[in-house]
Amino acid sequence: MNPFAIQGDICWSKSPGVLETMPDSFLVCNEGKSAGVFSRLPDQYAALPVTDYRGKLVIPGLVDLHTHAPQYAIRGMGMDLQLLDWLSLHSFPEEVKYRDIAYAHKAYGLFVDHLKRGPNTRIVAFATVHVPATIILMNLLEESGLVSMAGKVNMDRNSPDDLREESATASLYATMEWLELCVTHKYMNTTPILTPRFIPSCSDELMHGLGALRREMKLPVQSHLCENQKEVAWVRELCPASEGYGAAYRDFDLFGSAPENSAPTVMAHCVWSDESEMALMAQRGVFAAHCPQSNANLASGIAPVRQLFNAGVQVGLGSDIAGGANTSIFRAMSDAIQVSKLRQQAITLEEAFYCGTVAGGTFFGKAGMGFSGSFDPGYELDALVINDSAIAAPFDLPLRSRLERVVYLSDSRHIEAKYVRGRRIV
């Protein structure tokens, strides 16, 4: 990939509380990674081709750490229900349809096409229990140019008959079949992630088997944690020997990584996590995917984001389609700011933007070897060019204010260009 530069009004996070703003500057891409941002091109880059986006906002691509790809078709439906009822009446009946290959291809095609045109450049997605449909999703994601992790779901108990896998053995066998197919397809931008739906839907035997598979193959893990009070009580009944929900995942070896194993875990929601659970998350490097719109829609509560920050937990953002109705992580940023005030623990624009870019991007690899979400040198270059002229004010705005208005007011129509790993895909 030949190096190049982008010229525009550039914003990115330096830390959770610091937003770097450089008007009319140059972002240099070399071998798919950022070489830095410069007010003028240094001599060694003076001959690079420059794409002119002057007057437009250039920011890192957004990262969705938690979404359910098969639920895209039912977004905005059943939003007057609480979690467990919504799953039974809307989510599970929709997911059953993905045993039909033609339906899966059509529905996932709509989902991926929508994502490609939106502001997210990386996603972590649940599929369904169906191996062929999961491969269809991964193929479509690979073709889109987006960077993704996607997982075949495991569930062998407390599930509808037509979604429940026959046994732990059958679920683990299907998981191995899926993982072998992933190797065969030789994906470049799409990787598998182990996906036990949540503890209530997975037997102890299945969870222990997935833990062994994680250790053997050093695979990342995604699941749900402390989303709903009834769910938390249910896990307490199912795992009485564990001192908490997160500890139960740990006891199955599906909760973060020991020092010798770098495969990460992301847990969605964490609404009812207490201090001891947060400490365990920080100790084991478990990411929290904060899904504010979904948590409000399904009456789950408001995640204690400030306490998670203070405990040292890495907090990213999730759309949680279709508990959340909007795929854009811009919406998750604005919702995160809004609901934090209801806890009297307000988070700032800078913090929300960091969560949706750097924090989420950190889940994808080591610094300089997969990290995204920043324009600091060495990060993989995911970038959005936003033409915010249509939401301009009748007075001059600093870049921070322009970014804030983009977070609250923009949609896919304002995206002029989208780069993933240095390659333009829109």
pLDDT value, residue 209: 98
CATH of the domain at 32: 2.30.40.10
Residue 366 has pLDDT above 80, yes or no: no
Token pair listed for 403: 């970014």
45 with 76, same domain?
A: no
242 with 391, same domain?
A: no
Token pair listed for 391: 């939401």
Distance set, CA 378 to CA 132, 265, 375 (Å)? 36, 23, 8
The answer to the question of residue 33 being in a domain is yes
pLDDT value, residue 119: 98
Domain ends where: 362, 395, 412? 362
pLDDT value, residue 368: 44
Domain ends where: 362, 396, 415? 362
Domain count along the chain: 2
The answer to the question of residue 389 being in a domain is yes
Say what the alpha-carbon torsion angle 164, 270, 80, 230 is, to the nearest 10 degrees: 60
The answer to the question of residue 74 being in a domain is yes
> Is pTM beyond 0.85 here?
yes
Cβ atoms of residues 197 and 223 within 8 Å: yes
Residue 36 has pLDDT above 80, yes or no: yes
207 with 275, same domain?
A: yes
pLDDT digits (tens, 9 = 90+) for 330-342: 999 999 999 999 9
Residue 28 has pLDDT above 90, yes or no: yes
213 with 305, same domain?
A: yes
78 with 222, same domain?
A: yes
**C-alpha to C-alpha distance for 227 and 52, rounded to whole angstroms:** 45
pLDDT value, residue 230: 93
Average pLDDT of span 172-197:
97
53 with 130, same domain?
A: no
pLDDT digits (tens, 9 = 90+) for 11-20: 999 999 999 9
Q: Which of these, 195, 189, 191, 239, lies nearest to 213 by C-alpha position?
A: 195
The answer to the question of residue 368 being in a domain is no
Strand segments (E) across 270-335: 287-290, 315-317
**C-alpha to C-alpha distance for 386 and 375, rounded to whole angstroms:** 16
φ and ψ at 319, to 5 degrees?
-80, -30
The answer to the question of residue 185 being in a domain is yes
Cβ atoms of residues 406 and 388 within 8 Å: yes
Cβ atoms of residues 116 and 180 within 8 Å: no
275 with 353, same domain?
A: yes
Summary mean pLDDT of the chain? 96
Cβ atoms of residues 288 and 281 within 8 Å: yes
Q: Given 3-state DSSP classes, what are the helix, strand and coil percentages for the chain, each rounded to the nearest 5?
A: 40, 25, 35
Binned at pLDDT 50, 70 and 90, residue 367 comes out as very low
Cβ within 8 Å of residue 359, ≥6 positions away: 16, 63, 287, 314, 315, 316, 317, 373
**C-alpha to C-alpha distance for 200 and 198, rounded to whole angstroms:** 6
Lowest mean pLDDT segment, chosen from 81-90, 247-256, 266-275: 81-90
CATH of the domain at 114: 3.20.20.140
Domain ends where: 341, 362, 383? 362
The answer to the question of residue 151 being in a domain is yes
| Beta-ladder partners of 304 | none
360 vs 263: which has the higher pLDDT: 360
The answer to the question of residue 15 being in a domain is yes
pLDDT value, residue 370: 80
The answer to the question of residue 247 being in a domain is yes
**C-alpha to C-alpha distance for 199 and 180, rounded to whole angstroms:** 25
Enclosing domain of residue 411: 4-61+373-424
353 with 385, same domain?
A: no
Binned at pLDDT 50, 70 and 90, residue 387 comes out as very high
pLDDT digits (tens, 9 = 90+) for 310-330: 999 999 999 999 999 999 999
Q: Which of these, 313, 224, 239, lies nearest to 275 by C-alpha position?
A: 313
386 with 286, same domain?
A: no
pLDDT digits (tens, 9 = 90+) for 214-268: 999 999 999 999 999 999 999 999 999 999 999 999 999 999 975 555 689 999 9
69 with 10, same domain?
A: no
- Angle made by CA atoms 318, 322, 326, in degrees to the nearest 5: 60
pLDDT digits (tens, 9 = 90+) for 118-169: 999 999 999 999 999 999 999 999 999 999 999 999 999 999 999 999 999 9
Lowest mean pLDDT segment, chosen from 57-66, 107-116, 363-372: 363-372
pLDDT value, residue 20: 98
139 with 33, same domain?
A: no
Q: What is the DSSP letter of 243?
A: S
Average pLDDT of span 66-72:
98
pLDDT value, residue 83: 85
211 with 301, same domain?
A: yes
Token pair listed for 2: 């030949």
Report which residue type is found at 341: K
| Beta-ladder partners of 122 | 63, 147
Binned at pLDDT 50, 70 and 90, residue 82 comes out as confident
